[in-house]
Structure formats: structure tokens, C-alpha cells
Amino acid sequence: MVSIDTGTTAAVAAANGHGSAVTKSATTADGVAFPPMSQSNGEKTEIDASRKRKMSIMPLEVGTRVNCRWRDGKYHPVKVIERRKLQGDGPSDYEYYVHYTEFNRRLDEWAKLDQLDLSSVETDVDEKVEDKVTSLKMTRHQKRKIDETHVEGHEELDAASLREHEEFTKVKNIATIELGRYEIETWYFSPFPPEYNDCTKLFFCEFCLNFMKRKEQLQRHMRKCDLKHPPGDEIYRNGTLSMFEVDGKKNKVYGQNLCYLAKLFLDHKTLYYDVDLFLFYVLCECDDRGCHMVGYFSKEKHSEESYNLACILTLPPYQRKGYGKFLIAFSYELSKKECKVGTPERPLSDLGLLSYRGYWTRVLLDILKKHKGNISIKELSDMTAIKAEDILSTLQSLELIQYRKGQHVICADPKVLDRHLKAAGRGGLDVDVAKLIWTPYKEQG
């Protein structure tokens, strides 16, 4: 990584063999480098003043706004969330946990001093004015992207609770995990037990989901662990894909470990320690070594609000392969088996919301094409198990429904439907209902 000049300029003049002056970069006692400066007295005075100002703000305070070099090599505005002391006694011997204000919290990270552009430091900025300026600077595409990743994030929290949540979870406690053959960078804070406070990496058994501090512990555990798949009933198998139903009451430790793991990649969900009330549907890729988890969804055993899904996650190494859409489709197939309509529990995560919008769009437009629009909202709901409110909001967002003479009328022009279907993208993996062997929970036992 190429270091950048983070301070103001200072010069050291020396005569070369021809009597002309050359300049060299200077370094402060605490290691902050400054590039060469010109010999003008006016410029020198101005630069010295600038240098003193910049040194006076070190170390940066929590809440400071500054530009930071990201992994794309470009500078982006950040807010300092936390700081910690490194070895050394100087004001520059700190690193800073920063939030990129243009991006989702999952990209928050610890940044070294040489990543920060100290000339861009803002300490006393009015929040509303700053947000307005940032909004004006963003392109339309960037703003849409940010809106998509922040919509429906914390609707269940009031302002005070949201501040408390963000304060408690502001710094990622676990940086990476090892799960099976993958090492995965985490996205968010997860409230692991206190004995794991000093860990930045955890090692998970990919079958029972027990987690350990050291690789050696995992290796010893794997020699003893006799599980090769999630501890539940296999209810679906199609080729190398299997789905297991895990009862949280019968497999409490597994359910809790799955919640700890999932919270590393989900910002908005409350971590449920009482997993007795939930069923977990764990999707696996299977080979001769066992069944390897790629994602899961959970649902309440009894939901008064008709929720057919409480939480959904596809692990990062398996994303963009159609598994998220498969999990959503699977939850609706279970609803059909129960002869109920269903809807996901709110709030949805950012990625969950986008996946559901895509799923509802594809399913509904396929039916509208076949029926040429001659179908009611109630009939669509009965056919798909999608709640009427979700159907209505989807069609309204696509501008395919109008309100005439006291009722909703679907407008299904074939060319418009084709355009929306193309924009919705591919549908992902299909659920072969003939290979689903499952009895609804209420009928078990």
C-alpha cells in the first residue's frame, strides 16, 4: 500500500554541486510525513500555520469527519466511530474505526493514519448541512444504491432505541471467521459471550456450529464431532442440494450458535436466545465429506401475523448464486403446504428486501402473462401464497395497478410485463415440489 502525505509541507534546503537549492520531505518526531515546500517566506508562514493546525487535531476525536482511502484506492468521506491506541506515545499512534458515509455499515473498518487525508478534517459540522452537501455531491446512481441499502433497516426501533443499538453495535468485535473451507470477513457486531471479547477471529465447526478461539481447538473438535449435516430432519433433496429442518427446542445449542453466526452478517435483527419458538431451515451443498451450509431461514412455529419467515441469510461465499431466491421460494412452498398466505417478518435486511422484491415481481408477472391480466388480487394470493398487501405494493411499484370505481384494476400490457420481467433478472434455482417431504409443525406428534 502506498503511503500518502498526511501533514502540511516543510522544506529542508541544501546546496548541490551547482549551488542551487533542493528540497527534501520532512518527518515529525511522531512519524507524520510532510512533502517538500517552496522557499517563499509567505508560503512558508502559511504552511507552518497549516502544519500546526493539523498537528493540533491529533489524535482525531470520535465524531470527526475526514476522507479515507478505501480498498478501491479512492478517497471517500468517513466518520470516526472509535479509536484505539497503538504502541508509542505520540498523538499519531492511533488507528481509527471509521464508517463510510456513502456505504452500508457492513463496510466499516479500522483505518491506519496513512489512509486518512488530514487536510479534509471537519470537526464542527452541522449534521443536516453536511448530509445535504453529501447528497448534492452524489450521482443519481450512487444515491439510488445507498437508498436501496438503507431502506427498512430499523423500523421497529424508535429514535432512542436506534441510537442505543448503534452505540452498542458500532464496532465489529469479530473481524473474520473460518467455516469449512472458507475464511469469511464479517459485516457486523455479534454479541458473543464475554470470554470471546479478546478474539478477532473465530473457528466454526461447519456441522454443529460450535465455535472456538484457535485452529488447534477446531482440529481437535473435528476429530470428535460425529455430525456431517445439520442436526435435524432432511425434508428436501435434489441433486447436491439438501434442506434440513432443525427444531430450536430439540437442538437449542445449534440454534443459538446459528444465531450468533448469522448476526455477524445481519445488522437489523434482534438476537433471540430463546430459540425454542423457532424452526430453522438450513440449506446445504452436499458432497462425500458431508453437507455444507450455504444459508438458512427461520420461522416461528406459530405466528399470529402470518409470518412465514423470520430471518434469512445466504453466507457471503455462496451469494449471487440464486440461493437467496431459492430460500424465499421454499418458504412460500411451505406456506402452500400449510394452506396459508405468508409474508416475511419486518424489518427486512437490505439484501433481503431486494431479493423479495425480485421474487414477488417474477412470480406475479409470470402469472399475469399467462392470464393476460384477467385475474384478481385475491386469486393471485391464493395461487402464490403471497399476502395481498405484498402483491398490491409490488404491482403499485411497477405501476401495473390502478384504482377505478372503488376497486383495484390490474393493467397488464404484454410489452410492459416483458420489460419488467427483464429488469427483474433471472429467477434463481427452482424448488422441485415433488421432492419436498414435509409435514407442517402443528400436525407433528
The residues that are catalytic are 345
Q: Which residues contact 79 (CB under 8 A, 6 or more apart)?
A: 63, 64, 65, 98, 99, 101
Would you give the DSSP letter of residue 436?
Answer: B
Would you give the DSSP letter of residue 439?
Answer: -
Would you give the DSSP letter of residue 440?
Answer: -
Look-up of cell digits 452537501: 133
What residues are paired with 373 via a beta bridge?
Answer: none
Asked if 355 and 328 touch (Cβ cutoff 8 Å), the reply is: yes
Alpha-carbon gap, residue 73 to 69, rounded angstroms: 6
Per-residue cell: 99: 464508517
- Quickly list DSSP for 55-83: HHTPSPPTT-EEEEE-TTSSEEEEEEEEE
Alpha-carbon gap, residue 185 to 181, rounded angstroms: 13
What residues are paired with 209 via a beta bridge?
Answer: none
Asked if 227 and 208 touch (Cβ cutoff 8 Å), the reply is: yes
User: Residue 125 burial (CB < 10 Å; 0-12/13-18/19+)?
Assistant: middle
**Exposure on the CB side of residue 324, measured as CA atoms within 13 A:** 23
- Going by C-alpha positions, the residue among 353, 295, 282 that lies closest to residue 324 is 295
Asked if 328 and 339 touch (Cβ cutoff 8 Å), the reply is: no
Angle CA 336–342–346, to nearest 5: 155
Per-residue cell: 33: 510525513
Dihedral sign for Cα 285, 287, 291, 293, please.
negative
Alpha-carbon gap, residue 140 to 124, rounded angstroms: 28
